[in-house]
Structure 1
């Protein structure tokens, strides 16, 4: 794989662009009071060098672990870079963590300092986390930090002379990525600068990306997908990175960025689709999209309202997205490309290419990647982005990496004759019915699509047949609360339900569907930070009601 010696690591990239394009804007940050700040490459490098000098003065041992906690912001990235420039290891924490998990990560990682960033205790876990921050852990507050009684980033850099950065060698440990913990304790995935930069070097051979791109950073930077697809790419290619202020201003933030490359997860692609469908119902879309003179005008207007009319590369990953939704976006003129990767290989694994896609697959193996299917149906991947191992857990490292260097992904899949990989489910998601038959939930879930349904979960372990838990969209729940026709919606859901069952094997046929009452969120533990369902948490939550639902023998059940 080709490598640019001037951009060996993400930190090298910062100083490369500060020299080559010093006055180009690198980061654009909106603030709650409405003002927007631009930070050029030269300014970014200067701030990083000054903070690195401050960290050097704290005399931590080389390669100390330094935590970052906060929502995405320009200074989150600058803190990451400053940690590296002072010869230390960054440890990002999800802003939506509960206090107990945060305490575990502080302790397990042996964090010596915390960069505390953008948090408000409303749509994040700060109110719970703040009581679990070790009393003796030094804190530096980034802009928009919830604490005003600690040393502040802006004050420190104003009075500190810049230090010569400690440019790392590629094989140096760069970061600990703690997994989102959909099952059990999060694991600390160790990545070197080389494994991290592999995703950018490989992308050169897949997508034509350059310094003129624009991206919006809004998915958690603590997650590998955003770190790989957004932070690492922006640093490597030298393009402009925008941030979102809040959920309420997201559309405005998207319009400001006018991204040319956009990465999102299925839950948000679905939310965009549901938002459009609420204003322009599918039946009306079908009519308008089939009128030659209006066709392209309407589609362009929809993309413009979404803020994606400048987007030429749209990526989706982290969980499956149904073929029906992908086709809907493609019909609008946005070629959604499914990609695949894991924390353990820095998200460098598989991708569909522009003009070479196969809906329902995650594409071909990326340059330098090998893949195979093990005897138990599990996907195994050998990638240049393969982790160094799990921090303080050699046993788990040996369990998850084969002797010949392949990662056991935990996903089940198939590779077709053209090398396209199709993911068919998670090994751990399989469950047995009371009849002793195995059910694979994901393919069934992917077939259930309705414009008023946000997400579904197939459940029913140890029951006679599986069932379907259905979460309606925010708009649909509001509509029903305002007196909407429940019978009409129920009839529509039943039609989709019957169509899904028609394609199921006898032992997989769904006995009934339950329209759940309360939303599944990160805050109540039902979703991971990348909005994947936490299947085990959801199943446990509804386990006590399963017997009664089966005994009712109703097809559509509304949870009371």
Structure 2
């Protein structure tokens, strides 16, 4: 019986028990690794598709909403057949490890078939952010990536839509393929190609260290870096996921997912997990943006996911729909066994609201969890494969991965080694060399600490980005990650996101974007409520490095061209501060403008 004030239990979920070993070193650093060895894994991802086509030929692998409201569905057998035909067409055109395939389009079944065809043909696939082609003014990032990848074929699902970006490129010797044939070769021509023995021969040649993808980082500054993703990286990462989440073997996963495939989480973690486990991926044509989240809601009325992945901004936009529509909420939780938040920590109010909906609908709590990694780690390096009561814990190293935590500026910098780690960056040997330490650990640039110094099984807590932290003029260090999350949580639900200001300044400030919930308030009332919430927040803090004294609310959304935001909606702190220096100056003016929120003690 549940006592008053006690939370209901979690829904049963088969998770591997963490068994983490800590090895201390004389220099103050220490190594963490799982005592569970990484099992054997397929040599490349095309073998996984082949195995699923044989084991479950009629299971729907991919589903996509059609303009008429129905769904286009592709089974594993159909995906394997299409991938073989596309592979033959790619081989006929001379594509290979040094002649890649570049994809400009977003998530779609056609995109997936091209990617799978690249896997079967041993052709590196480079999926590129749609925003670089459709939201950019100068196409500088598309040009940069094109010159690095040097593709022999480019797929753009809608030739007319991507016409300007394609027209800006020197396409001499590069074939363009589109779904309908507009502006290039029709995809149906590739699909009509009859596979020959050459496809089987290539399939037998592909090794685990062959390049499967080039994924491009958003980068803190400058132009994107091309991260080499090998088949070993992706396949070993999926083996680790299978070992820490044994519940995936009980019933193939069902996903409704919008996370972009040009990003490692959508394209490697989620897509490959569904493929490896023989599940079904419904491609969500919605996303967390005004006018698009409604598409996600419509899809959730028809699809009950068994795992749900989103970013904090996505949950913030979805929650009001779930809270106000009981039928939608029942459909959402009907098969749900795991709620996953990617990237930034889930603010406490969103965590509490999701948990409350789970309890109201099911009488129990659905496990909420997260992991940690990067494009360079394919992506999972740690995972919280145990129940957690709050956001912030990023889990423990997964099987096969070693973490090295080494002292750095009052924090512990965390570094990664394992079969899931990239061999380097495309065409940038100097950056590759700089990315690894003398022991071969990848320097991811994040800080972490143990949740319980005496028990590494309790997990690691994310402790911010090393490069983002700064000192105030008082000499006090400001740990940006913690301040940002705490301030957004304190202002909930009025702020969508924020960056922390204050390097070489006397106090901490925020440049912040109001949330959808703030739109119903008059500007003066919005500023008054934010000031009141931050006043309470500051009163509970112990020092100046944790208190926010001024805020400027931004009306202009983050710029893709200026690298202020990634496809997943993550804010680039450094790029925002550089581009918005005039707003930073307003924060620290001796006499601030009337619209600058000043948080005074009372």
Q: Which secondary structure does the structure 2 equivalent of 1:186 belong to?
A: coil
* Partner in structure 1 of residue 172 of structure 2: 136
User: Once the 2 structures are TM-superposed, how far is the Cα of residue 446 of structure 1 from its aligned partner?
Assistant: 0.9
* Partner in structure 2 of residue 372 of structure 1: 404
- Identify the match of residue 118 of structure 2 among 58, 83, 88: 83
1:130 & 1:392 partners in 2: Cα distance? 22
* Partner in structure 1 of residue 341 of structure 2: 316
- Identify the match of residue 158 of structure 1 among 163, 177, 192: 192
Q: Which secondary structure does the structure 2 equivalent of 1:362 belong to?
A: strand
The answer to which of 89-98 and 127-136 deviates more is 127-136
What does the per-residue CA deviation read over 1:532-555, in whole Å, with 9 as the maximum and x for residues that have no partner? 102123212331233344323579
Aligned partners of 2:484 and 2:499 also within 8 Å: yes
1:230 & 1:21 partners in 2: Cα distance? 19
Provide TM-score, normalisation by structure 1: 0.86
May I ask how many residue pairs the two structures share in their alignment?
Answer: 526
Report which structure shows greater RCO (CA 8 Å, sep ≥6): 2
The answer to which of 544-553 and 425-434 deviates more is 544-553
Aligned partners of 1:31 and 1:245 also within 8 Å: no
2:502 & 2:163 partners in 1: Cα distance? 35
2:528 & 2:213 partners in 1: Cα distance? 51
- Identify the match of residue 400 of structure 1 among 435, 441, 466: 435
Q: Which runs of 5+ in 2 are unaligned?
A: 1-36, 287-291, 359-365
Structure 1 residues 490 and 301: alpha-carbon distance in aligned structure 2, compared to 1, 3 A threshold: farther
- Identify the match of residue 542 of structure 1 among 569, 580, 584: 580
2:538 & 2:223 partners in 1: Cα distance? 36
Q: Which secondary structure does the structure 2 equivalent of 1:454 belong to?
A: strand
Aligned partners of 1:274 and 1:452 also within 8 Å: no
* Partner in structure 2 of residue 182 of structure 1: 220
1:218 is the counterpart of 2:258: yes
**Counterparts in 2 of 1:97-112, with a 5 A limit?**
97=132, 98=136, 99-112=139-152
Aligned partners of 1:72 and 1:243 also within 8 Å: yes
* Partner in structure 2 of residue 422 of structure 1: 461
* Partner in structure 2 of residue 462 of structure 1: 504
* Partner in structure 1 of residue 567 of structure 2: 529
* Partner in structure 1 of residue 127 of structure 2: 92
* Partner in structure 1 of residue 285 of structure 2: 245
Q: Which secondary structure does the structure 1 equivalent of 2:72 belong to?
A: strand
Q: Which runs of 5+ in 1 are unaligned?
A: 280-297
* Partner in structure 2 of residue 36 of structure 1: 71
1:21 is the counterpart of 2:56: yes
User: Once the 2 structures are TM-superposed, how far is the Cα of residue 118 of structure 1 from its aligned partner?
Assistant: 5.8
User: Once the 2 structures are TM-superposed, how far is the Cα of residue 276 of structure 1 from its aligned partner?
Assistant: 5.6
User: Once the 2 structures are TM-superposed, how far is the Cα of residue 223 of structure 1 from its aligned partner?
Assistant: 0.5
* Partner in structure 2 of residue 259 of structure 1: 305
**Counterparts in 2 of 1:165-204, with a 5 A limit?**
165=200, 166-167=202-203, 168-204=206-242
User: Once the 2 structures are TM-superposed, how far is the Cα of residue 73 of structure 1 from its aligned partner?
Assistant: 0.8
Q: Which secondary structure does the structure 2 equivalent of 1:375 belong to?
A: strand
* Partner in structure 1 of residue 530 of structure 2: 493
**Counterparts in 2 of 1:202-351, with a 5 A limit?**
202-207=240-245, 208-210=247-249, 212-246=252-286, 247=292, 248-273=294-319, 303-304=329-330, 307-333=332-358, 334-351=366-383
Aligned partners of 1:189 and 1:387 also within 8 Å: yes
Once superposed, what is the RMSD of the aligned Cα atoms?
A: 2.7
Structure 1 residues 546 and 355: alpha-carbon distance in aligned structure 2, compared to 1, 3 A threshold: closer
Aligned partners of 2:369 and 2:388 also within 8 Å: no
1:209 & 1:118 partners in 2: Cα distance? 35
1:356 & 1:434 partners in 2: Cα distance? 37
1:350 & 1:120 partners in 2: Cα distance? 42
Q: Which secondary structure does the structure 2 equivalent of 1:527 belong to?
A: coil
Aligned partners of 1:50 and 1:160 also within 8 Å: yes
User: Once the 2 structures are TM-superposed, how far is the Cα of residue 511 of structure 1 from its aligned partner?
Assistant: 2.2
Provide TM-score, normalisation by structure 2: 0.81
Aligned partners of 1:512 and 1:554 also within 8 Å: no
2:144 & 2:126 partners in 1: Cα distance? 13
1:489 & 1:238 partners in 2: Cα distance? 48
